[in-house]
Amino acid sequence: MDCIKCSAPAFFECKCSSCGLCQNCAVAHVMSDNSIHVLLEISLFNSISKCDSCKINYAKVSCLCQDDKKRFCSDCIRIHLEKNSSHCVEPIGSQMPQREILKYQEKRRKIEYLSFEVKKNLEALKECREKVKVYRQNLIKNLENSTLEAQSQAGKCKNQLKSLYFELQTSISHSENEGSLADNLINSTDPEALEKGLNLVDAKLQTESTAKSIMSACKFISNKS
């Protein structure tokens, strides 16, 4: 970087316009106006590491989230913090003791394991919920089908009962009519005439029996002679 005024090798960089200044021109630049100027020695500035993400800006902070200290500028650290669940951020220049680093790494592993288990259980719960939902829908459908089938069977039974009741009523009506005809026939018959008729039938049967006895006797006598 060269001096913006005399093109000599720059010794400072001013933050007002990110320009380089040599030692002679630096004083004149600061006195040129009443604005605030921040001069940074370039040799010190070059000792600061670049951002490990963009490789352009200088790193402001470091993070231990990946078990490896990475450096980020003020812009990239915001994006980095959105990616993982846990971070251990410290400004450049400070040095965390190794023991503290190990403690943090152990805590981070436990937190990540717990986070994994929670996500796993949530997925299992979601899957179980979907199964319960499907089972509930199938159960409702089966109940509706059973209800319709029961209503159909009930209708058929009702029709059968109506048919049987009609047939029973018809049979009772026929029985009553036949009984009335028999009673009418009995009532219309003369008892004395019926008795005479029965006596005649009895006398006829006795006459036929006597005739058969006489004929048998005759045949027996004929055979003897």
pLDDT bucket at 33, cuts 50 / 70 / 90: confident
**Owning domain of residue 32:** 1-47
Is the model's pLDDT at 51 over the cut of 80? Answer: yes
Query: Is-contact 59 49, C-beta < 8 A?
Result: yes
- The model's pTM is 0.32
Integer Cα distance of 208 and 216 in angstroms = 12
Bridge pairing between strands 12-14 and 19-21: antiparallel
Task: Tell me the per-residue pLDDT of 100-150, one tens digit each, with 9 for 90 and over.
Answer: 666 766 777 787 788 888 999 999 999 999 998 898 888 888 888 888 887
Query: Is position 29 within any domain?
Result: yes
**pLDDT value for 143:** 84
The residue among 84 and 80 whose pLDDT is bigger is 80
> pLDDT tens digit string along 52-67?
888 878 778 888 776 6
Residue 101: what pLDDT? 61
pLDDT score, position 122: 92
CA distance linking residue 154 with residue 161, whole number of Å? 10
Residue 121 has a pLDDT of 92
CB atoms within 10 A of CB 151: 10
pLDDT in tens, 181-216: 555 545 555 556 556 555 555 555 555 555 555 555
Whether 13 contacts 1, CB under 8 Å: yes
Percent of the chain whose pLDDT exceeds 90: 4
In the chain, the number of structural domains is 1
| Average pLDDT along the chain | 73
The answer to the question of residue 1 being in a domain is yes
Q: Which of 15-29, 77-91, 114-128, 207-221 has the lowest mean pLDDT?
A: 207-221
Residue 41 belongs to some domain of the structure: yes
Q: How far apart are CA 48 and CA 132, in angstroms?
A: 59
Produce one character per residue of 39-50: b if its CB has 16 or more CB atoms within 10 Å, e if not: beebeeeeeeee
Residue 16 covered by a domain: yes
Please indicate, yes or no, if residue 126 is contained in any of the structural domains. Answer: no
Tell me the pLDDT band of 175, cut-offs 50, 70 and 90. Answer: low
Is residue 40 one of the residues assigned to a domain?
A: yes
More confident residue, 83 or 105: 83
> Does residue 132 belong to any structural domain of this protein?
no
State the pLDDT at residue 20: 80
Structure token digits, residue 172: 């009772």
- Answer whether residue 32 is part of any domain: yes
